[in-house]
Structure 1
Amino acid sequence: MTFDAGAFVLQSVPFARTLDIAFDKVEPGLAVARMPDRADLHNHVGGPHAGALFTLAESASGAALLSAFGDQLARATPLAVNAAIRYLKLAMGEVVAEARLQASREEVVARLDAGERPEFEIAVGVRTADGTPVSEMTVTWTLRPNR
């Protein structure tokens, strides 16, 4: 049985379900998530609210993390420690986030093996359905060893 990181995110983070986030692709170190265009998610100028875009990007980063480190959950808890987002252009319509692990899985696991609490980044690009970039996010994650 394989670990379904996208399903795990949606199961364990109810807010992601509230926004109707869905995962198109999840593979080791990569996740692609989408959020539909819904009027109740709009801001004052008719696009997705900044908080909704943040949640989409953070959810995609979580799935990318879990796709790379899901086998480590018995001994470590993933936690976001920092996130920075830059809004580039007003998003209109459905939006898609693509998250990529920026670290070597082997290096992160080796640090965990050494008893450390590794930190690493996941970069996320958010675009409209037609490919127009609308925001960029970097999430710094850690794997906190379970005691």
Structure 2
Amino acid sequence: MVAIDDTPALQGFMTLQQTIKKMQYDSIEETRVIIRKVRLVVFTALGVITLLMLTLMVMAYRIVSPLPSLSSVAEKLAAGDIGQRIDYVSRDEIGVLANALRAMAQAHQDKVEIIHLMAQGLSAPDIPTVSERDALGHALRSLQARWRTLPNTSETPH
């Protein structure tokens, strides 16, 4: 058997083996760090998405929840029930819609009260118009002007 002086070669091999193991360990640690960072990003994104969805659900509820009662009031107003009351108050678009329905109901109620006075033969204040395009208001003003020219219209009921 031939004796080989393998001490330097063996030491070189051992050093190489340790270097490879260290590189593997470092690579595994780097992979673990990357995985932790990816998990953090994923869970943060899921948290943000969850908060966003909850916020959108609350906003949708606030927008949609008053619509059934406003629709019901609008249908009753369309059917002639001008005694409807709208309790919803807000500064958003639905609040603007509620204010418009409230103003429309009040304008119709004011006109009906004046017509009742006229029907009783009483002098009534001029029928108000809410705008230049108020077809009902203008028609009732014309009727009121004609009514005032008829005989037997007085300040007292007949």
Fold similarity call, TM over 0.5: no
The structure where helix makes up a greater share of residues is 2
Largest Rg, 1 or 2? 2
TM-score tier, shorter chain, comes to under 0.3
